[in-house]
Chains A and B, each alone.
Chain A
Amino acid sequence: MKILVCVSKAPDTTSKIAFKDGNTKFEDNGVQWIINPYDEWYSLVRAIELKEKEPATIIHLVTVGTADAEPIIRKALALGGDEAIRVNTDNSDSYYTAAQIAEVAKQGAYDLVFTGKETIDYNGSSVGAMVAELMDIPYISLATKFDVAGTVATVSREIEGGEEVAEVPLPLVVSCQKGVAEQRIPNMRGIMAARTKPLKVVEPATVETLTSVSSYELPPAKAGVKLVAADNVAELVRLLHEEAKAF
Chain B
Amino acid sequence: MSVLIFVDQSEGHIKKSSFEVLSYGAKLAEQIGATAEAVALGTINDEQLSALGKYGVKKVHHINNEILNHVDAQVYAKAIADTATNTGATVIVISHNQTGKAIAGRVSARLKAGLVAGAIALPETSNGFTVKKTVFSGKAYANITITSPIKIISLNPNSFHVIEGEGIAEVIAVTAAIDTPKVKVTAVNKISGEVPLTEADIVVSGGRGLKGPENWGIILDLAKVLGAATACSRPVGDAHWRPHHEHVGQTGIQIAPNLYIAVGISGAIQHLAGVNRSKVIVVINKDPEAPFFKAADYGIVGDAFDILPQMTAEIKKLKGIA
Contacts and interface: CB of A to CB of B under 8 A. Distances in A.
B226 A247 contact: yes
A142 B253 CA distance: 11
Given A13-B270, A161-B10, A247-B259, 20 more contacts: A11-B136, A13-B273, A14-B269, A125-B105, A131-B109, A133-B108, A137-B74, A138-B183, A141-B73, A160-B199, A161-B196, A165-B187, A210-B148, A211-B115, A213-B144, A222-B295, A225-B299, A228-B300, A236-B300, A240-B298
A75 interface: no
A107 interface: no
Contacts of B298: 225-228, 236, 239-240, 244
27 contacts: A14-B269, A121-B136, A123-B117, A126-B101, A130-B108, A133-B110, A134-B109, A136-B74, A138-B182, A139-B74, A139-B106, A141-B98, A141-B102, A163-B189, A164-B70, A164-B189, A165-B189, A168-B182, A210-B146, A211-B116, A211-B146, A213-B145, A222-B294, A222-B297, A230-B300, A230-B302, A241-B318
Contacts of B185: 164-166
Contacts of B122: none
B15 interface: yes
Contacts of B101: 117, 125-126, 129, 141-142, 175
B307 to A, nearest CB: 6
Interface string B279-314: 110110000000001111111111100110011001
B39 interface: no
A188 interface: no
A interface, by DSSP: helix, strand, loop or mixed?
mixed
Contacts of B86: none
Interface string B23-39: 00000000000000000
Contact of A247 (B73, B102, B202, B301): B202
B99 A159 contact: yes
B64 interface: no
B196 A178 contact: no
B98 A142 contact: yes
B134 A210 contact: no
A209 B298 CA distance: 44
A213 B299 contact: no
Nearest to A167: B184
B320 to A, nearest CB: 13
B263 interface: no
A70 B306 CA distance: 53
Nearest to B225: A247
Interface stretch (B41-49, B169-177, B213-221, B244-252): B244-252
Contact of A209 (B97, B110, B147, B296): B147
Contacts of A192: none
B187 to A, nearest CB: 4
Given A138-B74, A244-B280, A168 B196 contact: no
Contacts of A141: 73, 98, 101-102
A233 B263 CA distance: 14
A226 B186 contact: no
B71 A128 contact: no
B311 A237 contact: yes
Interface in A80-109: 93-95, 98-99
A226 B113 CA distance: 45
A222 B146 CA distance: 30
Nearest to B259: A246
A123 B135 contact: yes
A13 B269 contact: yes
B140 A139 contact: no
